[in-house]
Chains A and B, each alone.
Chain A
Amino acid sequence: MGWEEKQVRGYPEFVRTAQSYHGRPIFALFCGDKDAEGRSWCPDCVTAEPIVRKELHNLPDESVFIYCLVGDRAYWKDPNNEFRRNLKLTGVPTLLKYGTPQKLVEEECFKAELVRMLFTED
């Protein structure tokens, strides 16, 4: 049964979705909100997204890829937002393997090699 993608927005929806897939490998990409034309306020997210998407076919079977929009720029800049506080995110884009210390932050997400390593190796 390959892998599947879920798109969510905001912290509560992310947590609910992650919990509903408990027991399966969960990978998540956190990006800034997109405007009506589909462009994110976060330029690094714009760069990273296609690179990450190109590696999705490497995801292990049964895994879930959660694409999560975190909020607008003002929300993200608040040092107390729930993503920073609870998930310890320090920047967007962040690509992580949920429930492990394995993550790639900002420019690390631009490197296909590293994305592939995150998806395929233990």
Chain B
Amino acid sequence: SVQAHKEEDNPQKTMEVNGLTPVLDSYDYDLIVIGGGSGGLAAAKEAAKYEKKVMVLDFVTPTPQGSSWGLGGTCVNVGCIPKKLMHQAALLGQALQDSRKFGWQFTEEVQHNWMTMTEPVQNYIGSLNWGYRVALRDSKVTYENAYGVFVGPHTIKATNKKGVEKLYTAERFIIATGERPRYLGIPGDKEYCISSDDLFSLPYCPGKTLVVGASYVALECAGFLAGLGLDVTVMVRSILLRGFDQDMANKIGEYMKDHGVNFIREFVPIKVEQVEEGTPGILKVTAKSTTGDQVIEGEYNTVLLAIGRDPCTRKIGLDKVGVNINEKTGKIPVNDEEQTNVPYIYAVGDILQDKLELTPVAIQAGRLLVRRLYAGATTKCDYVNVPTTVFTPLEYGACGYSEETAVEKFGEENIEVYHSNFWPLEWTVPSRDNNKCYAKIICNIQDNERVIGFHVLGPNAGEVTQGFAAAIKCGLTKEQLDNTVGIHPVCAEV
């Protein structure tokens, strides 16, 4: 529910804007978007279509290691895009091995060069950063590379990297500031550890790596690093992929273990020290068991922290405008129209409480919000049955309920799970695992055996899942699925 925002009398008259007192009913902009990532840019471009005067503020606070990047947000710069490219690099390594079994002959052992991979990846990202700037300029959206902070009602202060401050006012705001990786809060973490913010532009090969965490970020990174031939260890506090179907999460872990990734379970790092400087150097990690007193030590070239991400909502002046946040998590609660408790301030993307942290969700939410604001539309963002994919070495695509959540919501006796292992045809010749790929659907017996959960573990899981997501949105039932003839020979026919 939205609470009415009580404005103090004439707040504007007590503020100076570049020496002039602003008039309440004429703002500098119709809309200011704070954050130039997936959600922010989609909203800004959409608003420009309706001839609104829009500004985007985007600023990347450098990481403790000094990494920074251009316009586009996490997905483009330090998330989905470089991740998928490096995952592809690892898959190609596997394909090279398989190729011998298909008749390709080469005598040299194949090596991987980190710099040869990162250069074109970074160049591609650079072209995307530039493309967004061209798109914004072309749509007459004002973009400033500056850090936005609310200083009063309808007013934001933007500080650029030279420290120059400017004030702007707008009728409405969209907060789309996204998140940044969390640190452990132990000695040596900020000085010596890296995060996903640093990994994709690392100017040297990470070498023997300890990945701390069991999030999809941790497992995806551990997965491709191992696929590139590096010695990788994952240190897990408790379970893998919290929030995902645990049956699938365990299968992913097993596959990674069978394919050379070391796991240290039920330990957390308590100290990171530098043994030797270098690029990379050598770090010593001391870790303590979560179940007893045992303490272990290990040496690694690189320690990658992937223990979670925190919303960038604590230092943007939300208290000055009265926007409520969840004090514990930093997330912003919104109604089903992405509106905060302050009627003229909205929010989209990863910072939202209880919503999925995915690029397409942020884009959809941003676009629909703007259409509702300026084009009289009424469609709200549908957060149900959103498909996702985890790009671990064995990819995992999912849409709908996990088995645990389905049991919890509908009761074990009311759901039916159909499942199957499958062996991709392409894996037969090179004798790759014949019982690791797996698919299952969860059906609601009381509703015509409606498919309420879809899970697939296998190559190209993302491509496979996309079509099923559309079918599930249309109300796919088990019978309809059975009546759909399969394409042969593909994994999806299972």
A residues apposed to B, CB below 8 Å = 100-104, 108, 111, 113-114, 117, 121
Contacts and interface: CB of A to CB of B under 8 A. Distances in A.
Interface stretch (B87-95, B109-117, B127-135, B237-245): B127-135
B46 to A, nearest CB: 20
A90 to B, nearest CB: 12
Contact of B126 (A100, A111, A113): A100
B138 interface: yes
Contact of B137 (A100, A102, A103, A113): A113
Nearest to B122: A101
A111 B126 CA distance: 21
Contacts of B137: 113-114, 117
B134 A104 contact: yes
A108 B134 CA distance: 9
A121 B129 CA distance: 13
Contacts of A114: 134, 137-138
Contacts of B127: 101
B138 A102 contact: no
B201 to A, nearest CB: 14
A102 B131 CA distance: 8
B133 A117 contact: yes
B123 interface: yes
A101 B138 contact: no
Interface residues of B, number: 10
Among A102, A104, A114, which residue has the most Cβ atoms of chain B within 10 A?
Answer: A102
A115 to B, nearest CB: 11
A101 B137 CA distance: 17
A114 B126 CA distance: 17
A92 to B, nearest CB: 18
Contacts of A101: 123-124, 126-127, 129-130
Nearest to B145: A122
A111 B123 contact: no
B274 to A, nearest CB: 33
Among A104, A111, A117, which residue has the most Cβ atoms of chain B within 10 A?
Answer: A117
Contacts of A103: 130
Given A103-B130, A113-B138, A114-B134, 16 more contacts: A100-B130, A101-B123, A101-B124, A101-B126, A101-B130, A102-B126, A102-B130, A104-B134, A108-B134, A111-B138, A113-B137, A114-B137, A117-B133, A117-B134, A117-B137, A121-B133
A103 B133 CA distance: 11
Contacts of B133: 117, 121
Nearest to A105: B134
Interface string B52-91: 0000000000000000000000000000000000000000
Contacts of A108: 134
Nearest to B140: A113
7 contacts: A100-B130, A101-B124, A101-B127, A102-B126, A114-B137, A114-B138, A117-B133
A103 B131 CA distance: 9
Contacts of B126: 100-102
A16 to B, nearest CB: 23
Among B126, B134, B138, which residue has the most Cβ atoms of chain A within 10 A?
Answer: B134
